[in-house]
Amino acid sequence: MTCTDEFSAPSTRHCTPYILLNTRKTGERGRFDAAHELGHLVLHSGYQSPRGPEAEAAADAFASAFLMPRAGILAQQVNNASVERILSAKGRWGVSAMAFSYRLRTMKLLSEWRFQQTAKQLAQLGYRKGEPGSSMVRESSKLISKVFEALRAEGTSVNDLAKSVHIFPEELNHYVFGLVPIGYKGGEQRTAPIRPALSIVK
């Protein structure tokens, strides 16, 4: 993954860092992208920021270890796991089947040959760019929902906000992960109840 092409999560180190996620990706990939950008902020926040393939690989390695802790993976006993086992085990971590397979290879739980075979099978099953059958809820922003709550308390409507940036309310809602009120019923605003499926990893 790189920060320059199909990926759209550039982070900035000026003042408060922001991470922008591509809403067209699956929840699993959005989660990895967020962790990847966190890796850049943690690893590359010095005066001279490293760029290029090495920095990208380091951010990917950070995201992989951050989302799939070594002890937790070892406890799953996924040594030489079959594709079926990988698909059932990856759900615990909220990652894509491909990311899970990479992690197993990095931890030497999959040989290079076995990894290549696994990647080929996963691609044939549609896991190269998607997560067939996944119902994972996309990660979202707590801050944005607080901002919209504050604006609502001030009497600023979603329509006002959308109009100020020249887009439809539905489009605004799409960009902010469905966190804004999207409709009105009996004079009351209705908020889309989307909550991230987060859990504590021991």
Closest contact distance (angstroms) between CB of 9 and Zn ion is 8
Binding part of the chain for Zn ion, among 55-63, 64-72, 107-115, 157-165 by CB under 5 A, reads 55-63
21, 59, 99, 158: which one contacts Zn ion (CB under 5 A)?
A: 59
Backbone dihedral region for residue 192 (phi beyond 0: left; psi -120 to 50: alpha; all else: beta)? beta
Least distance CB 170 / Zn ion (angstroms): 30
Q: Judged by CB under 5 A, does residue 122 bind Zn ion?
A: no
**Minimum gap (Å) between residue 15 Cβ and Zn ion:** 20
Residues paired with 190 in a beta bridge: 183
Task: State yes or no: residue 182 binds Zn ion (CB under 5 A).
Answer: no
Alpha helices in 80-168 (DSSP H): 83-89, 97-106, 112-124, 142-153, 158-164
Taking the complex as a whole, the smallest distance from the CB of residue 50 to Zn ion amounts, in Å, to 10
Is 67 a residue that touches Zn ion (CB under 5 A)?
Answer: no
In the block, tokens 């615990």 appear at 92
- Biggest CA pair distance of the chain: 61
Residue closer to Zn ion, measured from CB, 34 or 109: 34
Our finding on whether 3 is near Zn ion (CB under 5 A) is yes
Overall residue count recorded for the chain in this entry: 202
The separation between CA 191 and the C-alpha centre of its own chain, rounded to angstroms, equals: 22
Per rule CB under 5 A, is residue 136 in the interface with Zn ion? no
Q: Which amino acid is at 159?
A: N
Q: Return residues touching Zn ion (CB under 5 A).
A: 3, 56, 59
